[in-house]
Amino acid sequence: MCSLSLHVKSVKDKSALITFGFLFDCSANASLCCRRWTTCISMCRGCRKRLRSWRSSVKESTCSSRYHPIFNPQNSIVLNLCRSLQDDHIKQVTLKAVKQQEERREKEATVQGLKERRVQLVQKQQRLQQQVQRHGRYGDFLEEVVKMTKFEDTQSFMDHVENLLHLREQLSEKEKSAQKDVDNRKKALQTLEDQHHLTSLHMNVQLSRLHRELDEMCSETLTWESKWNHLLEASAKKTLMLVQTKLVSLNLYELIKDKIEEEEFVDLAETEKQLDKVKMFVHDYSLAWTKLLREQNGIKKATK
């Protein structure tokens, strides 16, 4: 911008300065349009028209006047400015075309989605119409039922049906509750049966153990019973021998009682005293018998 202003100050022709101001104005408008191309597209078009008219005027002026150095074709500033304007215009057109293409694709996708949605809605409408046609006969049926029953109109009949449905729901809930209670009771019964089975197994084990102990005790009892019987037999034998001994003692005492002189009477149960008496009698009798045998032997020896 500074180089342009210095170059313009060196220009002496007033018409060239006016023309350069027009060019600078167009470039400023073009740069503004490049920054705000979405809102100033019409302004860019006007700039392009003015640029074309300016180019034609420049060609005419260069052909007629050779003393304007700013319009020299070799001037790089003007050429660069024209090229930048063309590049900006191409970029704007390209961006606009890309944006329009994207918008067109989005609109086409939206239109396609709306078409598919419309087809779905049409199909849904057809299904609903078919359902209405298919279920429409139930309304006629309800009207016929209302005519045959005590209800005044269809609404009262529907209310009655709703009450029945509500009652059925209540009964269904009660049935579900009862079924749940039955299931819980079945589970509890199954648990009790399992516990009873385990208890039975435990009791059977204990019973088998007690049976073994009983068998052992029975065998031991038989052993002790046999021993006890043996002891009873031995005791009975001893008792019998004792009784026999007492009877023998009593008999012996009865035999010698008349042959001995007693001052006191011996009881029948006093076996020891009886035996002592018998012993004394036998001893005395033995001494007397020995003495008698000696006397007889002495007599025999004396006679010889």
pLDDT digits (tens, 9 = 90+) for 82-122: 777 778 888 888 888 888 899 999 999 999 999 999 999 99
Domain ranges of the chain: 85-148
Question: Average of pLDDT values for 1-10?
Answer: 37
- Residue 251 and residue 268: Cα distance in Å, rounded? 10
- Residue 272 and residue 249: Cα distance in Å, rounded? 9
Check pLDDT > 90 for residue 272. no
pLDDT digits (tens, 9 = 90+) for 144-198: 766 666 667 777 777 888 888 999 999 999 999 999 999 999 999 999 999 999 9
> Per the structure block, which two tokens stand in for 282?
């036998």
3-state secondary structure 65-110: CCCCHHHCCCCHHHHHHHHHHHHHHHHHHHHHHHHHHHHHHHHHHH
- Residue 179 and residue 177: Cα distance in Å, rounded? 5
- Residue 206's pLDDT is 95
- Residue found by looking up tokens 């509750």 in the block: 177
DSSP 74: T
pLDDT digits (tens, 9 = 90+) for 224-235: 999 999 999 999
The CA radius of gyration of the chain, in Å to the nearest whole number, is 77
- Residue 54 and residue 59: Cα distance in Å, rounded? 9
